């Protein structure tokens, strides 16, 4: 829920549906995905900046996304970048691994570039379980352009928070906003349990 709107996000169909709390009696249609039989439910694409569309100074015409996935009346005419993801396990030994992920998250109400690593240990029963490691770090580089904004680029290292904060998971986000990206590339390598992983990269529009 965002202020006076109930929100439903369907990643499979890449749709974001919104229902004003004035129509709370219709919430079952939102929950059940009956978007197109209820005119009180507004449907956008996950590429749209939904928060901007729901809360302009004057209400923007509530229209369904066009075939290109862009909503008529959007402030910025630049296209939105597509979602990309790399999710892989880097095996340090047969019983230790890093579960690593690089992804552009595109949810309509929230957009981010995320690098994430989890250190895991294989138990005697064969289950992968958390293994805390305060020495983890992420080497990263990126370039991105938010829609109708200037490009940014950078690189660096994200270290764990230290003995009072560390667990088995470390994250780094060079970008997070309610505004989507026009293009990007984002690469990273991950260190944990004394080993540095292979490097991987996602990119879209560059």
Structure tokens at 125: 């029963």
Structure tokens at 21: 């709390």
Looking at residue 164, its pLDDT comes to 55
71 is a domain residue: yes
Instruction: Please identify, among 20, 53, 75, the residue that sits at the C-terminal boundary of a domain.
Output: 75
CA–CA separation, 37 and 194 (whole Å): 56
Give every CB contact of residue 22 below 8 A, 6+ residues apart in sequence: 4
- 174: domain CATH number? 2.60.40
80 is a domain residue: no
Looking at residue 48, its pLDDT comes to 86
List the domain range (segments joined by +) for residue 37: 1-75
45 is a domain residue: yes
Q: Which residue has the tokens 């064969």?
A: 126
Find out whether 105 and 142 touch, Cβ atoms under 8 Å.
no
Query: pLDDT class for 60, splitting at 50, 70, 90?
Result: very low
Looking at residue 160, its pLDDT comes to 85
More confident residue, 26 or 161: 26
Give yes or no: residues 101 and 33 share one domain.
no
Per-residue pLDDT tens digits for 136-153: 999 999 999 999 899 999
Give yes or no: residues 115 and 193 share one domain.
yes
CA–CA separation, 143 and 16 (whole Å): 27
Give yes or no: residues 55 and 32 share one domain.
yes
Per-residue pLDDT tens digits for 124-134: 999 999 998 88
Per-residue pLDDT tens digits for 32-56: 988 888 999 999 988 888 888 887 6
Give yes or no: residues 66 and 92 share one domain.
no
* H helix or E strand, kind and range, residue 53: helix 50-54
CA–CA separation, 86 and 99 (whole Å): 11
Give yes or no: residues 110 and 178 share one domain.
yes
Count of domains for the chain:
2
Instruction: Please identify, among 23, 51, 75, the residue that sits at the C-terminal boundary of a domain.
Output: 75
Q: Does the pLDDT value for residue 71 go beyond 80?
A: no
Give yes or no: residues 61 and 106 share one domain.
no
């Amino acid at each position: 829920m965002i202020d006076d709107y109930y929100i439903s996000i369907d990643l499979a169909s890449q749709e974001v549906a919104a229902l004003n709390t004035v129509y709370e009696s219709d919430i079952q249609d939102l929950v059940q995905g009956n978007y197109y039989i209820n005119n009180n439910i507004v449907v956008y694409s996950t590429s749209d900046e939904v928060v901007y569309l729901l809360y302009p100074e004057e209400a923007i015409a509530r229209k369904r996304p066009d075939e290109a996935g862009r909503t008529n009346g959007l402030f910025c005419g630049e296209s939105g970048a597509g979602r990309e993801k790399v999710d892989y396990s880097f095996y340090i030994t047969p019983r230790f691994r890093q579960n690593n992920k690089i992804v552009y998250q595109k949810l309509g109400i929230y957009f981010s570039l995320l690098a994430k690593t989890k250190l895991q240990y294989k138990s005697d029963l064969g289950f992968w379980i958390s293994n805390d490691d305060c020495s983890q770090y992420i080497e990263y580089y990126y370039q991105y352009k938010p829609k109708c904004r200037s490009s940014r680029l950078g690189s660096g290292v994200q270290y764990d928070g230290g003995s009072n904060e560390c667990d088995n998971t470390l994250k780094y986000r060079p970008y997070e906003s309610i505004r989507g990206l026009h293009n990007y590339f984002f690469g990273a390598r991950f260190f944990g349990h004394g080993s540095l992983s292979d490097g991987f990269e996602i990119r879209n529009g560059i």
